[in-house]
Amino acid sequence: MFCPKCGEEYRWYVMVCPTCDVDTVDRLPGPEPTPDVELVSVLATADPGVIAFAKSLLEREEIDYLVRGEGLESLFGLGRLSGFGPAEFLVRADDADRARALLEGLMTREQKPDSSLDV
């Protein structure tokens, strides 16, 4: 439970904030949704360890992200070796450079895009 006035978190049974004397809520209101935000791909990997580590790095830096394709193989019980493809991390365009710098060391040489193919 959270106090909507001071933001303090309490146990589930605290119904009134003892400091502010207002009713607590299940969650604090978040930012307004931005449905037209531009998302940019910053990492694609099929390695579950890299996926977990990338999530922790982005969360620590408070970079919002979306993972497309994660768990699709597990949904069908096939595992990552099924050929469905990698999980793709998407972030806001404004955060892309910072996220790429943060995640740069996670990609192996085989996963990095080949710059010689650029035309």
User: pLDDT tens digits, residue range 7-54?
Assistant: 899 998 999 999 999 999 988 776 666 678 899 999 998 888 888 999
Structural contact between residues 21 and 58, judged by C-beta atoms closer than 8 angstroms: no
Residues 55 and 106 in one domain: yes
118 occurs within a structural domain: no
* Residue 34 within any structural domain of the chain: no
At 59-111, the pLDDT tens digits run 999 999 999 887 655 545 555 444 456 889 999 999 999 999 999 887 654 45
Helix (H) / strand (E) element for 57: namely helix 48-60
Looking at the fold, whether 101 and 71 belong to one and the same domain comes out as yes
Q: Is residue 119 part of a domain?
A: no
Number of domains in the chain: 2
**Residue 116 domain-assigned (yes or no):** no
Q: Look at the block and give the residue holding tokens 């930012």.
A: 31
For residue 108, the model assigns a pLDDT of: 55
Same domain, residue pair 52 and 99: yes
